[in-house]
A and B are shown apart, each in its own frame.
Chain A
């Protein structure tokens, strides 16, 4: 159990766990935090994405998102109801804790992050295909590291980073904390368990002003069948240092 520590980011204080680097208490004017307690997803905030033969299970403070691998489009996860309340120019931060219990295979992929797009059923991939116009994601897909090496992609509809590897190999069944930091939209930063990743790439999301985002975490696939993939989402936390 880590000690509570605090840090200042752009003049704002946040408390965090000193061993896991989970941000446990950001002191910010706009905060979204869902630990998925209880057994029902809060549909005031989330659209529960369930398309195809997979499943989404809400229990023990987690969402377990599973593909069935049938021969059709499958999507399991949550999006922010297409209510884009988060402003890239206001320095928001996205954080989630997630683990893979079955790494994605074939054309399956996991994405977690934010997008300006409305949710597009059957057309919201960021790695196996580039279907999101404006978004910033961590993700897993089978092309890199057998689906166990976290990837990053950002696209502001002008600067597309392409798929950038974090070089971090995840362990099936082990949670990690993923953070995307828009403090500087010209240089969006990505962290896994508190460590900056893909630091040799500049992720530029500065095209346009006051671009608004919603959170999205989903496992999905568009394929002929036989795909596998299961992930467990523990929490999503977002905060914005100013209004």
Chain B
């Protein structure tokens, strides 16, 4: 993995200085503020003065479960769909990937460096957005009304650790397929799995709501991350410079 941090640093710089990053950051910023304000107004109407904490607690915890799951998921998914395939497709078509691989860098160092470079900015944006929503909703609505701060440890672990891990595994798979095949295939895989994840969270939130406030849900996320991670690790054995080069020349490996 020698040289991987150099790829990571350079790619993070490219992403952060790109116009796409600015646009995504603005859109997510607007959505975050909108969501925080909207949720606060809705909760202030629902949380009538005098409502017993015991009565409000289960509902608020489930509600917070939805917030802390959906916010990072949407952010990570948006960033991933933007950065995991198109920039790699351009690098393959114009030659920078071939030049990188002609150095002492290994194919795995390039893969992991590029995957982390997509994940880290997305994770930081997602983290900031989620923290903003949690703080605004709690301090503008829940704490003044109930006197309690709502965020379960299982939700925090899911939102800040397991779900991002799951998304990192998904990003690495997307980058892997973008490197060794037509990047459109990589993009299709990322979007397909990402949409399934959004659906799963939506369905869980809508039907078996108790799950979003449980450690079980956190562990499901961890299991998903491990499953995708092991899949990526297993597939990475077939990652070679030759496969990347031939796929760049239109010969899908």
Do A and B assemble together? no
Interface residue ranges, A against B (CB under 8 Å): none
